[in-house]
Protein backbone atom coordinates (compact mmCIF):
# COMPACT_ATOMS: atom_id res chain seq x y z
CA UNK A 1 0.00 0.00 0.00
CA UNK A 2 1.28 3.48 -0.85
CA UNK A 3 1.89 6.25 1.65
CA UNK A 4 -1.36 8.27 1.66
CA UNK A 5 0.62 11.46 2.23
CA UNK A 6 2.73 10.83 -0.88
CA UNK A 7 -0.18 10.21 -3.28
CA UNK A 8 -3.89 9.45 -2.93
CA UNK A 9 -3.89 6.64 -5.52
CA UNK A 10 -1.58 4.75 -7.84
CA UNK A 11 -4.22 4.71 -10.58
CA UNK A 12 -5.94 7.86 -11.93
CA UNK A 13 -9.40 6.39 -11.33
CA UNK A 14 -11.75 9.29 -12.17
CA UNK A 15 -10.93 9.70 -15.88
CA UNK A 16 -10.96 5.93 -16.31
CA UNK A 17 -14.31 5.62 -14.54
CA UNK A 18 -16.00 8.39 -16.52
CA UNK A 19 -14.62 7.28 -19.90
CA UNK A 20 -15.72 3.72 -19.17
CA UNK A 21 -19.18 4.95 -18.10
CA UNK A 22 -19.51 6.94 -21.34
CA UNK A 23 -18.48 3.92 -23.44
CA UNK A 24 -20.92 1.64 -21.60
CA UNK A 25 -23.73 4.22 -21.97
CA UNK A 26 -23.13 4.37 -25.73
CA UNK A 27 -23.07 0.58 -26.12
CA UNK A 28 -26.16 0.05 -23.94
CA UNK A 29 -27.96 2.86 -25.76
CA UNK A 30 -27.33 1.12 -29.07
CA UNK A 31 -28.13 -2.41 -27.87
CA UNK A 32 -30.94 -1.69 -25.38
CA UNK A 33 -32.40 1.79 -25.92
CA UNK A 34 -34.60 2.92 -23.04
CA UNK A 35 -37.79 4.92 -23.53
CA UNK A 36 -37.42 8.70 -23.31
CA UNK A 37 -39.80 11.49 -22.39
CA UNK A 38 -41.86 12.90 -25.30
CA UNK A 39 -42.38 16.49 -26.44
CA UNK A 40 -42.71 19.18 -25.15
CA UNK A 41 -40.82 18.05 -22.01
CA UNK A 42 -38.12 16.42 -24.14
CA UNK A 43 -37.46 19.83 -25.74
CA UNK A 44 -36.97 21.36 -22.30
CA UNK A 45 -34.62 18.52 -21.32
CA UNK A 46 -32.69 19.04 -24.55
CA UNK A 47 -32.17 22.73 -23.71
CA UNK A 48 -31.32 21.91 -20.08
CA UNK A 49 -28.81 19.34 -21.33
CA UNK A 50 -26.97 22.01 -23.33
CA UNK A 51 -26.94 24.23 -20.23
CA UNK A 52 -25.48 21.34 -18.24
CA UNK A 53 -22.77 20.84 -20.89
CA UNK A 54 -21.98 24.57 -20.83
CA UNK A 55 -21.83 24.35 -17.02
CA UNK A 56 -19.39 21.46 -17.34
CA UNK A 57 -17.09 23.53 -19.56
CA UNK A 58 -17.22 26.54 -17.21
CA UNK A 59 -16.57 24.43 -14.10
CA UNK A 60 -13.75 22.42 -15.68
CA UNK A 61 -11.92 25.47 -17.06
CA UNK A 62 -12.34 27.36 -13.80
CA UNK A 63 -11.15 24.39 -11.71
CA UNK A 64 -8.11 23.81 -13.92
CA UNK A 65 -7.18 27.50 -13.69
CA UNK A 66 -7.59 27.46 -9.91
CA UNK A 67 -5.31 24.41 -9.64
CA UNK A 68 -2.74 26.03 -11.91
CA UNK A 69 -2.85 29.28 -9.91
CA UNK A 70 -2.58 27.21 -6.74
CA UNK A 71 0.55 25.58 -8.16
CA UNK A 72 -0.68 22.04 -7.62
CA UNK A 73 -1.42 19.03 -9.78
CA UNK A 74 -4.64 18.24 -11.59
CA UNK A 75 -3.74 14.54 -11.65
CA UNK A 76 -5.74 12.39 -9.21
CA UNK A 77 -2.83 9.98 -8.80
CA UNK A 78 -0.27 12.61 -7.73
CA UNK A 79 0.32 14.30 -4.38
CA UNK A 80 -1.17 17.76 -3.90
CA UNK A 81 1.41 20.44 -3.19
CA UNK A 82 -1.10 23.08 -2.09
CA UNK A 83 -4.70 23.11 -0.87
CA UNK A 84 -6.88 25.00 -3.35
CA UNK A 85 -10.04 26.46 -1.82
CA UNK A 86 -10.93 29.28 -4.22
CA UNK A 87 -12.87 29.38 -7.49
CA UNK A 88 -15.17 26.39 -7.92
CA UNK A 89 -13.41 24.74 -4.96
CA UNK A 90 -15.26 27.25 -2.77
CA UNK A 91 -18.62 25.58 -3.49
CA UNK A 92 -17.60 21.94 -4.02
CA UNK A 93 -14.50 20.06 -2.93
CA UNK A 94 -14.62 18.08 -6.20
CA UNK A 95 -15.56 20.44 -9.03
CA UNK A 96 -13.90 18.37 -11.76
CA UNK A 97 -15.74 15.19 -10.75
CA UNK A 98 -18.94 17.16 -10.35
CA UNK A 99 -18.35 18.60 -13.84
CA UNK A 100 -17.76 15.14 -15.30
CA UNK A 101 -21.04 13.94 -13.80
CA UNK A 102 -22.81 17.05 -15.10
CA UNK A 103 -21.40 16.39 -18.58
CA UNK A 104 -22.77 12.85 -18.63
CA UNK A 105 -26.19 14.03 -17.44
CA UNK A 106 -26.16 16.79 -20.06
CA UNK A 107 -25.27 14.35 -22.84
CA UNK A 108 -28.09 12.10 -21.66
CA UNK A 109 -30.60 14.95 -21.82
CA UNK A 110 -29.40 16.17 -25.23
CA UNK A 111 -29.29 12.69 -26.77
CA UNK A 112 -32.38 11.39 -25.02
CA UNK A 113 -30.42 8.53 -23.48
CA UNK A 114 -31.38 7.50 -19.99
CA UNK A 115 -28.27 5.28 -19.92
CA UNK A 116 -26.01 8.34 -19.71
CA UNK A 117 -27.92 9.66 -16.71
CA UNK A 118 -27.96 6.30 -14.91
CA UNK A 119 -24.28 5.67 -15.59
CA UNK A 120 -23.40 9.23 -14.48
CA UNK A 121 -24.77 8.37 -11.05
CA UNK A 122 -22.89 5.07 -10.97
CA UNK A 123 -19.68 6.80 -12.10
CA UNK A 124 -20.07 9.44 -9.38
CA UNK A 125 -20.52 6.72 -6.74
CA UNK A 126 -17.51 4.75 -8.03
CA UNK A 127 -15.40 7.92 -8.12
CA UNK A 128 -16.31 8.68 -4.54
CA UNK A 129 -15.35 5.17 -3.39
CA UNK A 130 -12.19 4.71 -5.50
CA UNK A 131 -10.84 8.26 -5.55
CA UNK A 132 -12.52 10.92 -3.42
CA UNK A 133 -12.37 9.10 -0.09
CA UNK A 134 -8.65 8.39 -0.58
CA UNK A 135 -8.04 11.95 -1.80
CA UNK A 136 -9.70 13.30 1.34
CA UNK A 137 -7.41 11.18 3.54
CA UNK A 138 -4.44 12.37 1.50
CA UNK A 139 -5.41 16.04 1.87
CA UNK A 140 -6.03 15.64 5.59
CA UNK A 141 -2.64 13.95 6.04
CA UNK A 142 -0.86 16.70 4.07
CA UNK A 143 -2.73 19.80 5.25
CA UNK A 144 -4.20 18.79 8.63
CA UNK A 145 -6.47 21.35 10.32
CA UNK A 146 -6.50 23.60 7.25
CA UNK A 147 -8.16 20.81 5.23
CA UNK A 148 -10.47 19.77 8.10
CA UNK A 149 -11.73 23.37 8.42
CA UNK A 150 -12.21 23.58 4.65
CA UNK A 151 -14.10 20.26 4.56
CA UNK A 152 -16.45 21.53 7.30
CA UNK A 153 -17.32 24.58 5.19
CA UNK A 154 -17.49 23.12 1.68
CA UNK A 155 -19.53 20.09 0.67
CA UNK A 156 -18.03 17.06 -1.06
CA UNK A 157 -20.28 17.36 -4.11
CA UNK A 158 -22.67 20.34 -4.03
Q: What's the pLDDT score for residue 79?
A: 87
Least confident range from 1-10, 73-82, 119-128, 131-140: namely 1-10
pLDDT for 99 beyond 60 = yes
**pTM here?**
0.90
Domain ranges of the chain: 44-153
Per-residue pLDDT of 21-53, as tens digits, reads 999 999 999 999 888 888 888 899 999 999 999
CA 82 to chain centre: 20
Give the pLDDT score at 4.
57
Q: Is the CB of residue 110 less than 8 Å from the CB of residue 49?
A: yes
Amino acid sequence: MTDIKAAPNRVPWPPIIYLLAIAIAIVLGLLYPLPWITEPISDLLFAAGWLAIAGFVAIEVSAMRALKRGNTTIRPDKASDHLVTNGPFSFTRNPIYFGNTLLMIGIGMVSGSLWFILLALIAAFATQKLAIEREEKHLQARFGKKYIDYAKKVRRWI
